[in-house]
Structure 1
């Protein structure tokens, strides 16, 4: 059995266990578990590094979702116990990366390749895009889950005026710091697994370490883009009946900010797409 076939077997077995465990612990609902199984299988089969980034995002975000649940329930209109994610949320956070992983694996015949634009601009761009994708997803999740627990009052990113917690586009220093740390975790996952599974030429091996600061910056930048989109294209209002910030208009809701153009999933998809492209371009310039 060749290495790619073995990796496929490992991918299916590990993904099945993780998806079942996530469903049992209510991190994913049934549709999310099914989608998660296929997405994880694709990532791990394409490259252990891609799988490591996906799992670093999934496990860390699932853990943080459960931190301070009582407080989040009083502030978040879409709060679900355990943070259950459905298939739409799974695909909005990993669908694009899965496509990039398939293309990259097809171009390399399933062989893991280091970031090296001198050998392959296309593969380097694709891998860079996957890094940016998960740095952005993790940055947005960490900043949302930890930022809402900050004692500081958030400020709207467009004009820096104080807003209520839960307002789309509201930022805190704690949230921005969390986004940077989240990107750092993605970079570490990529580099550490790469050291164990991927052979690089000596002249480019040290460059792979640049993924850590790159992913950290992508986590912060992705969170800022997400906040900017949320503040301008996603509606936020205060409901006098429910006593919390909501994203839907009604007679009892007073507008805080934003237009009713994108919902939360759409904001995530757009910000991830932008960061995927941006990080891909940066990787072509520095590797």
Structure 2
């Protein structure tokens, strides 16, 4: 990539696109004001450092936001913390992008702003970091697709730890549709990475076919990340049924009958931990495969 382009054009593109997306998301109520500010920073950072990373973030954000808005009337009856448009604040934005942001900054510093293919023989650390970013967004997208599609499924969810039927909205409840959606969500992230890598980086003919392995890795990361999230939700996140509100809630109380889990982690913490674990596991997998 030409140095003058990197120095002037790419930062301008990053700020312009980041501003547009943040403004649009705020207007459509996908992000709160604080979420839009955090989203602007994260998106601009990703675009500035590498289009591959921005592509994964964009695919996650737009597909997840679209799915969140599907079936809102049904979701309102199930989710006690339902917000129109699935509006996310800065905490939710950073819990779904903070780790990846740290990793892409580390990549930028280590590579001097240059793009590298996945190839552990040349640089194990760079391969591990790129794999971590892929795993991060596969987990985010897979878990969101799983939750948003699973809750609209006609199937009754089963608690992942006992396989007993539970009410919709119970943390750790899974459905077949939700698990398939998680795998699909991960595969879409992998595909977006591969397409941008092929169009922006010359990896060499001996490595091109191997880069396609990112897609099955991403599919596994999407499914695995969703399963990790469900296991954490079923064990370390409280779920109970409120007899007054007639809904599944996330905090204990006098009118609430416990369904599962302990009051150790909230939803943002569960997301963060599952993303962290999936990031590490995908990073290790890429080291062995590439």
Pick the TM interval, shorter chain. Answer: over 0.9
CA–CA separation in structure 1 for the residues paired with 2:139 and 2:11: 27
CA–CA separation in structure 1 for the residues paired with 2:127 and 2:206: 16
Tell me if 1:135 matches 2:108.
no
- In the TM superposition, what is the alpha-carbon distance from 1:254 to its structure 2 partner? 0.2
CA–CA separation in structure 2 for the residues paired with 1:72 and 1:247: 16
Residue aligning to 1:49: 52
2:81 to 78, 82, 94: 78
**Which segments of structure 1 move beyond 4 Å, counting only runs of 4 or more?**
none
Residue aligning to 2:6: 4
CA–CA separation in structure 2 for the residues paired with 1:117 and 1:10: 31
1:238 to 237, 241, 251: 241
Matches within 5 A, 1:48-67: 48-67=51-70
- In the TM superposition, what is the alpha-carbon distance from 1:2 to its structure 2 partner? 2.2
Tell me if 1:273 matches 2:281.
no
Matches within 5 A, 1:16-27: 16-27=19-30
In structure 2, runs of 5+ residues without a counterpart are none
1:131–1:186: 8 Å Cα contact kept in structure 2? yes
1:123-152 deviation digits (Å, cap 9, x = unpaired): 000000000000000011000001001101
TM-score (norm 2): 0.98
1:201 to 187, 204, 218: 204
Secondary structure class of the residue paired with 1:237: strand
Tell me if 1:255 matches 2:261.
no
- In the TM superposition, what is the alpha-carbon distance from 1:204 to its structure 2 partner? 1.4
1:68-113 deviation digits (Å, cap 9, x = unpaired): 0000000011110011000000000001100100000111111111
CA–CA separation in structure 2 for the residues paired with 1:223 and 1:57: 14
1:32-54 deviation digits (Å, cap 9, x = unpaired): 00000000011111110000000
CA–CA separation in structure 2 for the residues paired with 1:8 and 1:285: 34
Q: C-alpha root-mean-square deviation of aligned residues, in Å?
A: 0.7
When the two structures are aligned, how many residues end up with a matched partner? 287
Residue aligning to 2:42: 39
Residue aligning to 1:96: 99
CA–CA separation in structure 1 for the residues paired with 2:195 and 2:119: 17
Secondary structure class of the residue paired with 1:2: helix
Residue aligning to 1:179: 182
CA–CA separation in structure 2 for the residues paired with 1:7 and 1:120: 25
1:121 to 97, 119, 124: 124
- In the TM superposition, what is the alpha-carbon distance from 1:15 to its structure 2 partner? 0.5
CA–CA separation in structure 2 for the residues paired with 1:14 and 1:38: 11
Secondary structure class of the residue paired with 1:254: strand
CA–CA separation in structure 1 for the residues paired with 2:41 and 2:81: 26
- In the TM superposition, what is the alpha-carbon distance from 1:250 to its structure 2 partner? 1.0
1:4–1:111: 8 Å Cα contact kept in structure 2? no
